[in-house]
Amino acid sequence: METLPLFTIDQTVNTYKYLFEPNPVFGMDFFSNNFEAKEIVLLDDIKAGSQGIPIHFGYYALFLRIHGETQRTINQFNYLIKPHSLQLVNPGAIYSFKDVTNASRTFVLLFNKAFIEEDNLSEHIQESLMEFHRKCQQDIVLNKTQYAHAVAIYEQLSTELRAKNDDYQIVCKMLINQLLVLLKREKLSFGLKQNHTRAEEICAEFLVLIEEHYWQKKSVKAYALLLGVTPKHLSETVKGTLRHTALSYIHIRIIKEIQYLLCFGEMSIKQIAYALHFDTVSQLGRFFKRHEGLSPKAYRLKHRGVALYDKQNASK
């Protein structure tokens, strides 16, 4: 299947520009004439009750939730993000969010893979650190001391990115790595495992296979065949380990791709149905409405103009 290119930092910031205010006291000013969204961006999301439709992006996003709760979805997983949570989202993820409380504030740090790797830690240390976070994407609620530490690092980043003094990028890389190491330590202290049971390995392989085949394979039986297990064993393993059915993970991923294509692509609904291997447009429509409560056409009309990135900027 031909998919849309991954969003750049610039495209994402333009997509979510409604979340930011001019002349912020923290982070970078999206509305200033000299604002650049390239290798690294630090923003302050203070808009309560906001919602972001699914996007695919090709950079790292490191979120520190200051106050308020939000429902964050990354690939097939839903996270209820509480105040003082720190979470890293990896390149290639399909991401969306929805605030569930009136109060809301998040420090949003976006940086490219090349930025964090170039002239930074040794290659082995950097790869090991990022690989750990790739496998353990959970958010962590920081204790009072670690939260204060994280806020202080974000405030240092804000100062560096505003002043842009000599070697500010080097300082920023050092500060980001402090956050990544802090997050790793907290994940390990909460008992997140690096060695997994066979059931956990099957679930991990299953989720990877969904990412590779969601557009074509829609049944538990199809994935069980790829894994070399029975459909019953796969269903029981996923339900017992992840607490949701195997079929629900398949459907969630397909729904997110349909949402993404409806909001950001130029494909017709008929073309989307064909690309995702639905037999007919009506079949796609019934599937989508069963999960979302409205037709693909109604969803497109409702969301396409909301938070859609500036195509002129996207083409630069």
Give me the CATH number covering residue 47. 2.60.120.280
DSSP 96: E
For residue 316, being part of any structural domain is answered with no
Query: What total number of domains does the chain contain?
Result: 2
Q: Are residues 116 and 158 in the same domain?
A: yes
Mean pLDDT of the chain: 88
What phi and psi values does residue 25 have, to the nearest 5 degrees? -85, -15
* Cα separation, 203 vs 235, whole angstroms: 10
Q: Minimal CA–CA distance to 55: which of 28, 75, 85?
A: 75
Q: In Å, how far are 10, 60, 195, 302 from 188, measured between CA atoms?
A: 33, 20, 12, 42
Q: Are residues 160 and 285 in the same domain?
A: no
Residue found by looking up tokens 């100062």 in the block = 159
Q: For the chain, give the longest Cα–Cα distance.
A: 60
Handedness of CA 122, 124, 125, 129 (dihedral sign): positive
DSSP-assigned beta bridge partners for residue 86: 64, 140
Q: Are residues 154 and 208 in the same domain?
A: no
Last residue of a domain, one of 159, 189, 219: 189
pLDDT of residue 194: 53
Q: Are residues 227 and 117 in the same domain?
A: no
For residue 16, being part of any structural domain is answered with yes
* β-strand pairing of 70-74 with 40-45: unpaired
Please, which pLDDT band fits residue 196 given cuts at 50, 70 and 90? low
Residue found by looking up tokens 């008929």 in the block = 270
* Cα separation, 21 vs 27, whole angstroms: 11
Residue 307: is its pLDDT beyond 50? no
Q: Are residues 211 and 271 in the same domain?
A: yes
* Cα separation, 37 vs 212, whole angstroms: 30
Instruction: Specify burial of residue 65 (Cβ count, 10 A radius: 0-12, 13-18, 19+).
Output: buried
Q: Which residue has the higher pLDDT, 89 or 118?
A: 89
Q: What does pTM read for this prediction? A: 0.79
Helix boundaries (H) for 101-143: 113-117, 123-135
pLDDT of residue 310: 41
Task: State mean pLDDT over 31-55.
Answer: 88
Q: Are residues 180 and 217 in the same domain?
A: no
- For 245-284, the DSSP string reads -HHHHHHHHHHHHHHHHHHH----HHHHHHHTT-SSHHHH
For residue 148, being part of any structural domain is answered with yes
Q: 167-179 burial, b if ≥16 CB within 10 A, otherwise e?
A: ebbebbbebbbbb
Q: Are residues 176 and 281 in the same domain?
A: no
Q: Are residues 289 and 254 in the same domain?
A: yes
Give me the CATH number covering residue 219. 1.10.10.60
> Taking the CB of residue 46, how many other CB atoms lie within 10 A of it?
18
| Top-confidence range, 15-19, 188-192, 282-286 | 282-286
For residue 18, being part of any structural domain is answered with yes
- Domain containing 86 equals 9-189
Q: Are residues 97 and 126 in the same domain?
A: yes
Please, which pLDDT band fits residue 309 given cuts at 50, 70 and 90? very low
Last residue of a domain, one of 156, 189, 222: 189
